[in-house]
Amino acid sequence: MTRRRLYEASLTEISRAGLAAASVDEITQAAGTSRTAYYFHFPRKEAVLELLEQRLSVELWSALRRLPADASLERVFAAMHEQLLSFWSERPTLAADTASIWLSHRRPDELRTTLIERVSALVVLPAIEVALFVDRALITQWMLVLKWGLGLLPSLAEGLEALRHVSCHGAGAPAPRPNLSSRALVLVRTPTPALPSDLRPRAFVREPVHGRNRKVAAARAVGLAAVAHHDAR
């Protein structure tokens, strides 16, 4: 019970003041407990948002698990993005700090594993390239949440739509609708296509992918990391 009160009071204070300026004294006063109790449950303020991020990850994972086994790649991303929008629409002032923590300390979890399984079922690519594709999508997704939380992206919905379009159809594909913000598309596009040219539904794959495309995918991942580092500064 004490942990729950501290968790909720922490979210309220961080939402009001931001993570860096959030006051532990304000949190403990609102929760009716002591600083000792706070640090027993949460060694640092970031731990509160790590729990929030884990809750979101479980919700996204559950959304993927509810899809039929033959769901398309676009439907997989749409289900995840719909849940993401619902989650952050209820707590927009926590988005930027939570995204910063995820980008700094990202780690494999059930969501990533399930997404890799879903993509692997739809395409024929070496496991490393599927993992790189999934990691790029997740990193870009959190970068969009960060930019939106900081007020640098007017619409998270448009950003996620652009990410979904680029992930499923490639960076060079025309916008799916005329009024999709070019700014949103620019944010998720990289100098090379987001999707390897051989990332196609299994029914259309004639032969396996070999060394060259593996190197291309690795280069894309390095480029993405550089972009993420530059944007986070």
Residue type, 133: F
Under DSSP, the state recorded for 177 is S
Mean pLDDT of 83-111: 92
Q: Which residues contact 118 (CB under 8 A, 6 or more apart)?
A: 64, 67, 71, 73, 76
Residue 201: pLDDT band (50, 70, 90) is very low
Has residue 43 got a pLDDT over 50? yes
Decide: residue 176, CB within 10 A, 0-12 exposed, 13-18 middle, 19+ buried.
middle
d(CA 19, CA 24): 11
Distance between CA atoms of residues 61 and 105, nearest Å? 19
What is the band of 28 on the pLDDT scale with cuts at 50, 70, 90? Answer: very high
Query: How many CA atoms lie less than 13 Å away from 143 in the CB half-sphere?
Result: 23
- Residue ranges of the alpha helices (H) in the chain? 2-17, 24-31, 35-41, 46-65, 73-89, 95-105, 110-122, 127-149, 156-169, 182-188, 211-232
CB 132 within 8 A of CB 222: no
Three-state secondary structure call for residue 68: coil
Highest mean pLDDT among 77-91, 181-195, 212-226 belongs to 77-91
Domains of the chain with CATH codes: 1-44 (1.10.10.60), 46-232 (no CATH)
HSE toward the beta carbon, residue 34, CA cutoff 13 A: 3
pLDDT at 180: 59
Coil vs helix vs strand at 123: strand
User: What is the model's pLDDT at position 229?
Assistant: 39
Task: Assign 51 a pLDDT band (cuts: 50, 70, 90).
Answer: very high
